[in-house]
Amino acid sequence: MSRRLYRPRPATVQTGVDGTPVRVGRAQVESLREEWRVEDRWWTARPVRRRYFELTLASGANVVVFCDLGSGRWYSQTGG
């Protein structure tokens, strides 16, 4: 059986006025490590438009979350 790595899972993300996450679930964001955008498959009926954030939480954990810019929904990008 094959498993998809880094499967997106719905996440609860609270943002500041600039759209940058300040909380992921119940955890406070300690720092923003990196931010990037992905815009792909724009030529198809299902384009991908996402704003990604690599974050360090107050607990020391590193997480990657993204906002689907089409729907406005947030997801956590986790392994396996």
Chunk the chain into consecutive blocks of 10 residues (it has 80) and report each block's average pLDDT, rounded to whole numbers: 70 97 97 96 91 96 95 84
Please state whether 12 falls in left (phi above 0), alpha (psi between -120 and 50) or beta. beta
Q: Supply the DSSP symbol for 61.
A: -
pTM: 0.86
pLDDT at 14: 98
* Per-domain boundaries in the chain: 10-78
